[in-house]
C-alpha cells in the first residue's frame, strides 16, 4: 500500500477500552501521593453546624461566654487545601444560621500559625472550630487552650479523643456527638447532663 | 434599686442561652438524620438527596432479627420488595419485579464496589451476597433509576451496603447462630471477626475482617404429586423420570435430601492514610427440591447430586486526595473473578441433548474475569460546597466464557451440543453532575439543583445516555419537596446475547440496552422526633429483553441458516429480543419516629403501584409474582437495665398472580409475616450477647409454581410452600 492510499484498519473497540483503561490508570497514579494522617470529615458540614447550634446552648457557661455575641474562629491550616476548603464550607454553613444558641454570631477564618498564637487569638472568641489538616497539632492545641474559656470543636470526630472538646462522627449512617469531658473542664465548658446522655464521651 | 430592675430586664428580654429539657427533641431529631452518599457520591442528609433515599442501620438489622439483605429490604426498607423462589430472592421496586431476572435490574454495591457479576449480571440479595451482616454499618437504598452515576443495572434502584470502620467494630468477635424451621431440622452459621486501628509509616490505619460459614440442611418437605408426560410426535405420552428410582412421570412427593445451602464468605477492608483496600471471597452452593432454576420444568426432583454454585473473588483499592481548594480526586482500581456452575443430574433422556437412554449429567458453566479503573473529581468552584461539579470516568475490561455440556451415563462421553462462547470486551463510562445549593431566588424557597448525565459506551450494545434532573426545595422548617426525572439502563448480559440451543433457542441478534424513564415527586416532613414521607411516581420501561417465540417461517429460515437443528418444533423455539414494555405508576409512603429518648422506636412503610407488562407477543398483562401492594411496620422498646430489647416487625405483600401460564391466572394469597426478636446482653458475662427470633408467616404458599406443571387451570397450579414458623437463636461474644 502507498502512503497516500494507505488504508487504516477500523479501530478495534477492545483497543479503545484498553487504551482508555491505561490512560485512566496513569492519570490516577500520576497524582501526588502525600502522606496524611486520619483527618476525615464524616458528618456533612451543613449538619455539623446545625448540631452545634443546638448543642452550644447546653453548655452552662455559654451565656457568660457569649454575652456580647458569639465569635467563632474557624482555623485552617495554610499547608492543607482540604483544611482551607473545609473552613470556607463551615463559614458558608454558619452564615446560613440566624443564631447560635439563640445569640447572634460572627464567623472568621484564621490561618493556623501555631498553638500559642491560636490561644492568643481566642481571647474574645466563644468557639474555635478546627478543620482537617490540623491532625498533627491537636494535642498542642488542646494544651494551649487549657484554662481558656472557650468551646473547641472539630469537624473531624477523630480529634475528640485527642483533646478537642466537641466533635462529630458518623455511625450507622447517623451523626454522633463526641465530647472530651476532661478537656471540657479545662476550658470551662460544662454540658448539661441531658445532652451528655446523647454523646459519646471521652476519655 | 437599679440592680434588681436591671436583672429583671435581663431575664425578660435576653433570650435564654441555656436550653430547656423540651429542646432535646430537636437535637435528637438531628442526631437521627440519615446521612447518605450513594445518590450523589457526596455526603448529605437523606432529606437533601435528589432521590428517594433511605438508610437501614446496623442496629436495626440486629434488633429486628434480620438475617440477610432480602429480609432487610422486606422488613425495613421503603419502596423495594423481594420474593423467594426456593433458594433465590428476586427483587424489585415500586411494583416492578421481573421474574427470573436474577436481580439484574437492581445494582448492588458494597462500599461502592459492584456486586453484579459480568457474565449474567446476577447478584444475590440473600445469603448468596456473601457479606456477613455483623460487618454492615448501614445500607443505603436509592429507589428509582440510578444509572446517572453507576451505569448498568441501576434501573429499579441502587443498594449500597456500607461496612463498618474499625472503631465501630473494634476487637475480636465471634458468633454462633442456629435456625429452626417448622419441621425441626437445624441450620446455622458461625463467624469470626476482628477490627483494629494501627499506625504504620507515620500514618493511621485500620482494618476490619470477618469470616462466616452458613449451612442449611432440610427440612423435608412434602409436595403434591405432579404427573408429567409430554406427548411425542405421534401423540403418545412419554412420562419423564425425575429421580433415579422414582416412578416415571411423577414429580414429588417428599423432598428429603434437598434444601441444602452452604455459604462460606470472607470480607476484609484495610485503610492506611489515603488508601483503602478491600478483599472479598464467597461461595454459594445450594440444592433445592426443583433442580431447575426459573422456568426449567423437567429437572430432577430432590436430587442430592444436582446443585448450583457461585464463586466470587473481589478486590478493590481506593485512593482519595484533596489536590487543592478547588479539586478533590478519587481513584479506584478493582478486579473480580466469578464462576457459576449448575450441575443437575438428568435421569430421563428427554433432559439430555444427546442420545442417552439412561440420562446424563448436565453442566452449565459461566465464568467471568473483569477489572477496571474509575477516576472522578469534585470541583468546588466557590470552595464552600455551594457550586460543585462532579465528573468522572470508568474503564472496564471483561472476559467471560459460557459452556454447556453433558456426560452420558450410557457411554461416559462428554459432549457439547450447545455452542460455547468466549469474549473479551471493554466499556467506558463518563459522567458529570452539577450541584447548586442553595439557589436563592425569592419568592421561591431555597432550592438545590442537581443535573447530571452519564454516557456509557459498551462493546455489547453501543452507547447509552442516562440523565437525571432534580430539584429539592427546603420549603419550610423541617420540610422538603423533591421533583426528580431520571433514566437508567441495563446492558444485555452475555447469556442473553450469546446463548443458543439446537432445538429451543436461536442466538439473539444485536440487543439494545433496556431503558427506564421515571418522574417522581416527594414530600418529606420532620416534626420533632418523627418523619413523614409521601411520594408519587410514574415510570416507563422499554426495550425489555424477553423471549420471542419463532413462527414456523422463522424456524424454517433459522434451520436453513444452521441456527437450529431439524428437530426444532414450532412453539418451542425462542429468541431473546427487545420486545417487552412495562407501564408503571404508584405511590410510596413512610413514617418513622421514636420516643422516650430513643427507647421506643417505630416505623411504617407502604408502596402501592399499578404495573402492566406488554410482552411484545400481544396484550398487556399483570406482572407475575410481583406485588402491587407491599409494606412493613415495626416497633421496638429497650427495656431498662439488664432487660432485653423487644422488637416486633411485620411485612406484607398483597395478593400476587402466580408465575406460569394458568388460565385463568392462579394467585398466591396475601402474605403477612410477623417477627418477634429479643436481643440483649447475657447478664454476668461481659461481652456475651444473644439474639432470639421467631417468625410466623400467615400464608402457606408463595407465588411461584414449582415442579413441571406450569400451565393449565388454576387448580393445577402447585405453588411453592412456605414454612409457617422459623426461629433463630444466636450468641455473640465480643472482646474489645
Model confidence band, residue B277 (pLDDT cutoffs 50, 70, 90): very high
CA distance B99 to B353: 26
Which of B18, B321, B372 faces A21 most closely, judged by CB atoms? B372
Residue whose C-alpha is closest to residue B451's, from B472, B430, B433: B433
Residues in chain A: 203
CA distance B625 to B631: 16
B517: Cβ contacts below 8 Å, ≥ 6 apart: B145, B485, B486, B487, B539, B540, B542
Q: Which helix H or strand E contains B690, and what residues bound it?
A: strand B688-697
8-state DSSP, B111: T
Contact A16 B386 (CB under 8 A): no
C-alpha cell at position B431:
459522567
With left for phi above 0 and alpha for psi between -120 and 50, is residue B307 left, alpha or beta? beta
CA distance B435 to B45: 14
Model confidence band, residue B180 (pLDDT cutoffs 50, 70, 90): confident
Residue whose C-alpha is closest to residue A199's, from A161, A147, A148: A161
CA distance A98 to B477: 13
Q: Which helix H or strand E contains B373, and what residues bound it?
A: strand B360-380
CA distance B438 to A96: 10
Residue whose C-alpha is closest to residue B159's, from B128, B138, B132, B134: B138
Return the pLDDT at B1: 44
Does residue A1 sit at the B interface (CB-CB below 8 Å)?
Answer: no
Q: Which helix H or strand E contains B83, and what residues bound it?
A: strand B80-85
Which of B34, B140, B323 faces A81 most closely, judged by CB atoms? B323
CA distances from B555 to A202, B504, B551 (A): 76, 10, 6
CA distances from A22 to B25, B317, B400, B428 (A): 53, 16, 21, 12
Q: How many CB pairs under 8 A join A and B?
A: 189
CA distance B287 to B127: 14
Task: Give the ipTM.
Answer: 0.85
Return the pLDDT at B441: 66
Model confidence band, residue B185 (pLDDT cutoffs 50, 70, 90): low
Q: In degrees to the nearest 10, what's the CA dihedral of B75, B77, B78, B82? A: -70
Question: Helix A45-55 vs helix A81-95: angle between axes, to the nearest 10 degrees?
Answer: 60
CA distance B543 to B511: 9
CA distance B650 to B675: 6
Give contacts of A 13-32 with B, CB under 8 A. Answer: 13-14, 16-18, 20-21, 23-25, 27-29, 31-32
Does residue B428 sit at the A interface (CB-CB below 8 Å)?
Answer: yes
Contact B31 A85 (CB under 8 A): no
Q: Is residue B405 predicted with pLDDT exceeding 70?
A: yes
Model confidence band, residue A23 (pLDDT cutoffs 50, 70, 90): low
Does residue B111 sit at the A interface (CB-CB below 8 Å)?
Answer: no
CA distance A114 to A144: 10
CA distance B504 to B549: 10
B81: Cβ contacts below 8 Å, ≥ 6 apart: B73, B74, B91, B92, B93, B97, B607, B627, B630, B653
B553: Cβ contacts below 8 Å, ≥ 6 apart: none
Q: How many CB atoms lie within 10 A of CB B422?
A: 12
Does residue B416 sit at the A interface (CB-CB below 8 Å)?
Answer: no
Bigger pLDDT: B383 vs B679? B679
Q: Which residues sit opposite B115 in a β-bridge?
A: none
Q: In degrees to the nearest 10, what's the CA dihedral of A117, A122, A128, A133? A: -10
Question: Helix B24-31 vs helix A45-55: angle between axes, to the nearest 10 degrees?
Answer: 160
Q: Mutate which of B7, B10, B11, B19 to disrupt the A interface (most A C-beta within 10 Å)?
A: B19
- The 10s digit of each residue's pLDDT in B79-89 is 999 999 887 89
Rg of chain B over Cα atoms, rounded to whole angstroms, equals: 27
B715 phi, psi to nearest 5 deg: -65, -20
Choice among A19-28, B50-59, B69-78, B379-388 with the minimum mean pLDDT = A19-28
CA distance B671 to B355: 45
Bigger pLDDT: A22 vs B602? B602
Name the average pLDDT for chain B. Answer: 90
C-alpha cell at position B59:
442496629
B32 and B529 Cβ atoms separated by less than 8 Å = yes
Bigger pLDDT: B227 vs B543? B543
B497 CA to centre of own chain: 23
What value, to the nearest 5°, has the Cα angle with vertex B219 and ends B218 and B220? 105
Range B122-141 average pLDDT: 95
Contact A47 B45 (CB under 8 A): yes
Choice among B122-136, B402-416, B631-645 with the minimum mean pLDDT = B402-416
- Beta strand ranges found along B144-237 (DSSP E): 157-163, 171-181, 186-200, 203-217, 221-222, 226-227
Instruction: Collect all residues of chain B within an 8 Å Cβ-Cβ radius of residue A14.
Output: 424-426, 459
Range B344-373 average pLDDT: 89
Pairing of strands B157-163, B106-110: parallel
Choice among B217-221, B633-637, B680-684 with the minimum mean pLDDT = B217-221
Surface-to-core class of residue B20, CB atoms within 10 Å of its CB (0-12 exposed, 13-18 middle, 19+ buried): exposed
Return the pLDDT at B572: 81
**Burial profile B484-502: b = 16 or more Cβ within 10 angstroms, e = fewer:** bebbbbbbbbbbbbbbbbb
Nearest residue in B to A42, CA atom: B43
Give contacts of A 46-105 with B, CB under 8 A. Answer: 46-47, 50-51, 54-55, 57-60, 62-63, 66, 80-82, 84-85, 88-89, 91-92, 96, 101-103
Q: Is residue B619 predicted with pLDDT exceeding 90?
A: no
Return the pLDDT at B21: 45
Q: Is residue B293 predicted with pLDDT exceeding 60?
A: no
Does residue B66 sit at the A interface (CB-CB below 8 Å)?
Answer: no
Q: Is residue B585 predicted with pLDDT exceeding 70?
A: yes
Instruction: Collect all residues of chain A within an 8 Å Cβ-Cβ radius of residue B53.
Output: none
Give pTM, 2 decimals: 0.92
Residue whose C-alpha is closest to residue B487's, from B469, B463, B473: B469
Give the distance from residue B199's alpha carbon to the nearest chain A alpha carbon, in angstroms: 10
CA distance B677 to B610: 34
B619: Cβ contacts below 8 Å, ≥ 6 apart: none
CA distance B670 to B700: 10
Model confidence band, residue B165 (pLDDT cutoffs 50, 70, 90): very high
Does residue B6 sit at the A interface (CB-CB below 8 Å)?
Answer: no
Q: What is the Cβ-side half-sphere exposure of residue A22, based on CA atoms within 13 angstroms?
A: 5
Q: Is residue B481 predicted with pLDDT exceeding 90?
A: yes
CA distance A175 to A166: 13
- Quick check: bond before B585 cis, omega within 30? no
CA distance B133 to A136: 35
Q: How many CB atoms lie within 10 A of CB B548?
A: 20
C-alpha cell at position B589:
409512603
Give the distance from residue A4's alpha carbon to the nearest chain B alpha carbon, in angstroms: 31
Q: Mutate which of A18, A22, A24 to disrupt the B interface (most B C-beta within 10 Å)?
A: A24
Does residue B395 sit at the A interface (CB-CB below 8 Å)?
Answer: yes
CA distance A127 to A52: 10
Return the pLDDT at B177: 95
What is the three-class DSSP state of A55? helix
Model confidence band, residue A203 (pLDDT cutoffs 50, 70, 90): confident
Model confidence band, residue B302 (pLDDT cutoffs 50, 70, 90): confident
Residues in chain B: 736
Contact B17 A57 (CB under 8 A): yes
Residue whose C-alpha is closest to residue B320's, from B363, B274, B353: B274
Rg of chain A over Cα atoms, rounded to whole angstroms, equals: 23
- The 10s digit of each residue's pLDDT in A29-76 is 443 333 333 578 889 999 999 999 999 999 999 998 888 889 999 999
Return the pLDDT at A37: 39
- Quick check: bond before B493 cis, omega within 30? no
Amino acid at each position: 500500500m502507498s502512503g497516500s492510499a494507505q488504508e487504516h484498519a477500523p479501530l478495534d473497540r477492545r483497543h479503545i477500552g484498553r487504551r482508555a483503561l491505561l490512560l485512566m490508570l496513569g492519570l490516577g497514579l500520576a497524582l501526588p501521593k502525600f502522606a496524611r494522617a486520619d483527618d476525615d470529615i464524616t458528618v456533612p458540614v451543613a449538619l455539623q453546624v446545625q448540631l452545634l447550634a443546638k448543642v452550644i446552648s447546653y453548655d452552662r457557661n455559654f451565656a457568660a461566654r457569649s454575652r456580647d455575641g458569639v465569635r467563632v474562629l474557624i482555623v485552617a491550616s495554610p499547608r492543607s487545601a482540604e483544611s482551607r476548603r473545609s473552613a470556607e464550607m463551615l463559614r458558608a454553613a454558619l452564615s446560613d444560621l440566624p443564631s447560635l444558641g439563640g445569640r447572634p454570631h460572627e464567623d472568621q477564618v484564621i490561618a493556623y500559625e501555631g498553638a500559642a498564637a491560636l490561644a492568643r487569638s481566642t481571647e474574645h472568641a466563644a468557639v474555635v472550630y478546627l478543620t482537617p489538616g490540623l491532625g498533627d497539632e491537636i494535642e498542642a492545641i488542646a494544651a494551649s487552650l487549657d484554662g481558656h474559656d472557650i468551646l473547641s470543636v472539630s469537624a473531624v470526630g477523630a480529634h475528640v479523643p485527642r483533646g478537642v472538646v466537641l466533635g462529630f462522627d458518623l455511625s450507622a449512617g447517623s451523626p454522633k456527638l463526641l465530647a472530651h469531658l476532661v478537656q471540657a473542664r479545662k476550658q470551662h465548658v460544662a454540658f448539661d447532663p441531658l445532652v451528655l446522655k446523647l454523646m459519646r464521651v471521652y476519655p | 434599686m437599679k440592680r434588681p430592675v436591671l436583672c429583671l430586664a435581663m431575664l425578660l428580654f435576653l433570650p435564654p442561652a441555656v436550653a430547656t429539657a423540651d429542646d432535646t427533641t430537636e437535637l435528637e431529631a438531628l442526631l437521627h438524620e440519615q446521612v447518605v452518599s450513594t445518590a450523589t457520591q457526596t455526603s448529605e442528609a437523606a432529606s437533601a438527596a435528589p432521590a428517594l433515599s433511605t438508610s437501614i442501620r446496623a442496629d436495626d438489622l440486629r434488633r429486628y432479627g434480620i438475617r440477610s439483605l432480602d429480609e432487610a429490604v422486606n422488613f425495613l426498607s421503603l419502596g423495594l420488595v423481594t420474593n423467594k423462589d426456593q433458594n433465590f430472592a428476586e427483587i424489585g421496586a415500586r411494583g416492578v419485579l421481573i421474574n427470573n431476572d436474577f436481580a439484574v435490574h437492581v445494582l448492588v454495591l458494597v462500599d461502592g464496589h459492584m456486586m453484579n457479576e459480568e457474565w449474567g449480571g446476577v447478584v444475590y440479595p440473600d445469603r448468596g451476597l456473601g457479606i456477613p451482616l455483623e460487618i454492615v454499618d448501614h445500607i443505603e437504598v436509592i429507589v428509582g433509576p440510578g444509572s446517572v452515576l453507576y451505569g448498568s443495572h441501576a434501573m429499579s434502584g441502587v443498594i449500597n451496603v456500607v461496612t463498618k470502620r474499625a472503631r465501630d467494630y473494634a476487637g475480636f468477635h465471634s458468633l454462633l447462630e442456629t435456625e429452626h424451621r417448622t419441621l425441626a431440622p437445624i441450620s446455622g452459621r458461625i463467624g469470626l471477626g476482628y477490627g483494629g486501628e494501627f499506625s504504620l509509616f507515620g500514618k493511621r490505619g485500620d482494618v476490619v475482617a470477618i469470616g462466616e460459614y452458613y449451612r442449611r440442611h432440610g427440612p423435608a418437605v412434602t409436595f403434591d404429586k405432579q404427573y408429567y408426560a409430554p406427548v411425542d410426535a405421534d401423540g403418545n405420552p412419554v412420562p419423564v423420570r425425575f429421580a433415579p428410582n422414582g416412578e416415571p412421570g411423577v414429580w414429588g412427593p417428599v423432598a428429603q435430601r434437598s434444601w441444602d445451602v452452604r455459604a462460606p464468605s470472607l470480607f476484609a477492608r484495610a485503610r492506611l492514610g489515603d488508601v483503602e483496600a478491600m478483599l472479598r471471597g464467597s461461595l454459594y452452593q445450594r440444592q433445592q427440591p426443583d433442580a431447575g432454576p426459573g422456568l426449567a420444568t423437567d429437572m430432577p426432583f430432590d436430587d442430592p447430586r444436582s446443585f448450583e454454585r457461585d464463586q466470587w473473588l473481589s478486590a478493590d483499592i481506593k485512593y482519595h486526595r484533596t489536590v487543592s481548594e478547588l479539586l478533590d480526586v478519587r481513584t479506584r482500581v478493582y478486579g473480580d473473578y466469578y464462576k457459576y456452575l449448575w450441575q443437575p443430574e438428568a435421569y430421563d433422556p428427554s433432559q439430555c441433548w444427546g442420545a442417552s437412554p439412561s440420562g446424563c449429567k448436565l453442566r452449565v458453566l459461566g465464568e467471568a474475569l473483569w477489572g477496571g479503573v474509575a477516576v472522578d473529581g469534585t470541583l468546588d468552584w466557590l470552595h464552600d460546597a455551594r457550586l460543585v461539579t462532579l465528573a468522572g470516568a470508568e474503564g472496564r475490561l471483561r472476559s467471560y466464557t459460557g459452556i454447556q455440556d453433558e456426560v452420558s451415563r450410557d457411554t461416559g462421553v462428554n459432549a457439547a451440543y450447545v455452542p460455547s462462547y468466549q469474549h473479551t470486551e471493554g466499556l467506558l463510562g463518563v459522567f458529570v453532575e452539577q450541584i447548586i445549593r442553595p439557589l436563592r431566588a425569592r419568592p421561591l424557597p431555597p432550592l438545590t439543583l442537581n443535573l447530571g448525565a452519564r454516557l456509557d459506551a459498551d462493546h455489547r450494545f453501543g452507547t447509552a445516555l442516562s440523565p437525571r434532573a432534580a430539584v429539592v426545595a427546603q420549603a419550610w422548617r423541617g420540610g422538603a419537596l423533591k421533583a426528580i426525572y431520571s433514566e437508567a439502563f441495563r446492558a444485555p448480559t452475555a447469556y442473553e446475547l450469546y446463548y443458543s440451543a439446537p432445538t429451543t433457542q436461536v442466538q439473539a441478534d444485536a440487543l439494545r440496552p433496556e431503558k427506564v424513564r421515571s418522574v417522581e415527586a416527594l414530600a418529606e416532613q420532620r416534626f420533632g422526633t418523627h418523619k413523614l414521607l409521601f411520594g408519587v411516581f410514574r415510570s416507563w420501561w422499554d426495550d425489555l429483553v424477553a423471549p420471542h417465540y419463532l413462527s414456523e417461517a422463522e424456524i424454517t429460515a433459522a434451520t436453513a441458516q444452521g441456527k437450529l437443528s431439524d428437530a426444532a418444533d414450532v412453539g418451542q423455539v425462542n429468541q431473546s429480543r427487545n420486545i417487552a414494555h412495562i407501564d408503571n405508576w404508584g405511590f410510596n409512603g413512610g413514617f418513622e419516629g421514636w420516643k422516650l429518648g430513643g427507647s421506643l422506636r417505630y416505623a411504617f412503610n407502604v408502596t402501592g403501584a399499578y404495573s402492566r407488562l406488554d410482552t411484545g407477543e400481544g396484550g398487556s398483562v399483570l406482572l407475575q409474582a410481583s406485588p402491587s401492594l407491599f409494606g412493613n411496620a415495626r416497633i421496638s422498646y429497650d427495656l431498662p437495665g439488664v432487660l432485653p430489647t423487644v422488637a416486633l416487625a411485620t411485612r406484607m405483600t398483597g395478593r400476587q398472580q402466580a408465575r406460569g401460564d394458568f388460565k385463568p391466572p392462579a394467585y398466591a394469597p396475601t402474605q403477612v409475616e410477623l417477627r418477634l426478636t429479643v436481643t440483649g446482653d447475657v447478664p454476668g458475662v461481659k461481652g456475651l450477647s444473644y439474639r432470639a427470633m421467631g417468625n410466623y408467616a400467615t400464608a402457606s404458599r408463595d407465588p411461584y409454581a414449582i415442579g413441571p406443571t406450569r400451565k393449565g387451570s388454576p387448580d393445577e397450579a402447585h405453588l411453592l410452600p412456605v414454612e409457617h414458623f422459623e426461629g433463630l437463636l444466636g450468641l455473640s461474644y465480643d472482646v474489645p
